[in-house]
Amino acid sequence: MKRDRSRQKLGFTLIELLLVLVILGTLAAIVVPKFTRRSEQARLTAARTDIANLEVALDTFEVDVGRYPTTEEGLQALVEAPPEVTGWKGPYIKRGVPKDPWGNPYHYKCPGDHNTNGYDLFSGGPDGKEGGGDDIDNWSTS
């Protein structure tokens, strides 16, 4: 009879397994959102950094050429010399025009709607669309 009782105590009961699953689920519900917020903060910071780096490249282009790239030339003018441009000493960015952290192209417009004496440069943000309050741009202070 001792052998039968020891065999019964070796396994876990269904209630014990369910209790462990509930505890793990609760921990996951607490921890996972904290990591996802950090991930989104990192993407926002990366977009701001990309925009700042592109601004430096655009300003260098402007010093060399005497003007900013047109909207039609776009950011590609930082990688390849536009036709009929004198003074171009690029490439001004070495790895090609980056995409924003959400995989979308950065938007460039010169002259800008917000920076009428310069250019507008922005990412559509997490939703990838202009507007909506989640854009990262070069004209806002925040």
Q: What integer pLDDT is reported at residue 5 of this predicted model?
A: 55
Name residue 105's beta-bridge partners: 99
| Strand 136-137 versus strand 107-109 pairing type | unpaired
pLDDT at 97: 93
- Greater confidence (4 vs 107) lies with 107
pLDDT band at 18 (very low <50, low <70, confident <90, very high): confident
- Bridge partner list, 121: 108
Identify the weakest region by mean pLDDT among 16-30, 82-96, 125-139. Answer: 16-30
Q: Which helix (H) or strand (E) holds 121?
A: strand 120-123
- The CATH class of 15-137 is alpha beta
**Backbone φ, ψ for residue 137 (5° rounding):** -140, 175
Q: Which amino acid is at 45?
A: T
Task: Check: CB of residue 122 under 8 Å from CB of residue 130.
Answer: yes
Does the predicted model carry a pTM greater than 0.85?
no
Q: Delimit the domains of the chain by residue range.
A: 15-137
